[in-house]
Amino acid sequence: MSFLTGPMNHHLDGQKELTKHEPVLKSIDPEYVWVPLACNASVFVPLVEVGDEVKVGQKIAERNDHFYVPVFSSVSGTVTAIEKFMTSAMTPADHLKIQNDHKYEAVKSFETIDYEKASWEELLEFVKTSGMVGLGGAGFPTYVKYQKPENVDLFIINAVECEPFLTAE
């Protein structure tokens, strides 16, 4: 069901009937996680060292050239190495190697925000510190796209079930 009304209302068929009867799959629980310290030509600076313990949600690296982008850990465990591997763009880059302790102990990555009371500047800072980037391949920081809004009355973030065939409970 779409919440939009009027001539611009269009709902695409997501083919959910093909997956909604399937059981929810548990996520993988790897022994090691490698976090790339690069995105295209941009290099990320590690904020942790070999031997450091990390938690889920902990900021472990950041890009701070002409754009700012934080990177957060997806597992808890120990940083065991910084190793050079090929990225998905087939370029060599350093990666943080984290040995998963399988506990998934977490820390708060950033403060939440009351979007209904926040100013535009506060919303922009939230998007920036949360590390949102575009998924088009370049990893372009989302906050940059909203730095100079003109005639914006409503800001919508689609964060769930955006892909056809993907079903969440």
Domains in the chain, number: 1
Query: What pLDDT does 168 receive?
Result: 60
Does a structural domain hold residue 130? yes
Coil/strand/helix, residue 46: strand
Range of the domain at 30: 16-145
* CA-atom Rg of the chain in angstroms: 19
pLDDT of 74 > 60? The answer is yes
CATH code for the domain in which residue 62 is found: 2.40.50
Better pLDDT: 46 or 161: 46
pLDDT of 160 > 60? The answer is no
Nearest to 96 by CA among 44, 27, 41: 44
Does a structural domain hold residue 55? yes
Query: What pLDDT does 19 receive?
Result: 76
Does a structural domain hold residue 165? no
Give Cβ neighbours of residue 129 (< 8 Å, ≥ 6 apart).
70, 110
45 pLDDT tier (thresholds 50, 70, 90): very high
What pTM was estimated for this model as a whole? 0.76
25 pLDDT tier (thresholds 50, 70, 90): confident
Pairing of strands 53-54, 59-64: unpaired
Query: What pLDDT does 1 receive?
Result: 42
Does a structural domain hold residue 153? no
For residue 17, the Cα-to-chain-centroid distance in whole angstroms is 28
Q: What residue type is assigned to position 159 of the chain?
A: A
Query: What pLDDT does 46 receive?
Result: 97
Task: Please give the Cα distance from 50 to 82 (Å, whole number).
Answer: 7
Does a structural domain hold residue 151? no
Tally the C-alpha atoms within 13 A of residue 61's C-alpha that lie toward its C-beta: 23
156 pLDDT tier (thresholds 50, 70, 90): low
Write the DSSP string, 72-92. Answer: E-SS-EEEEEEEEEE-TTS-E
pLDDT of 41 > 90? The answer is no
Query: What pLDDT does 116 receive?
Result: 87
Q: What is the pLDDT of residues 86-135, one digit of tens each?
A: 887 788 999 999 999 999 999 999 888 998 899 988 989 999 999 988 77
Helix (H) or strand (E) holding 121: helix 120-130
Does a structural domain hold residue 158? no
Task: Please give the Cα distance from 169 to 162 (Å, whole number).
Answer: 14
pLDDT of 31 > 70? The answer is yes
Does a structural domain hold residue 6? no
Task: Please give the Cα distance from 161 to 169 (Å, whole number).
Answer: 10
Does a structural domain hold residue 93? yes
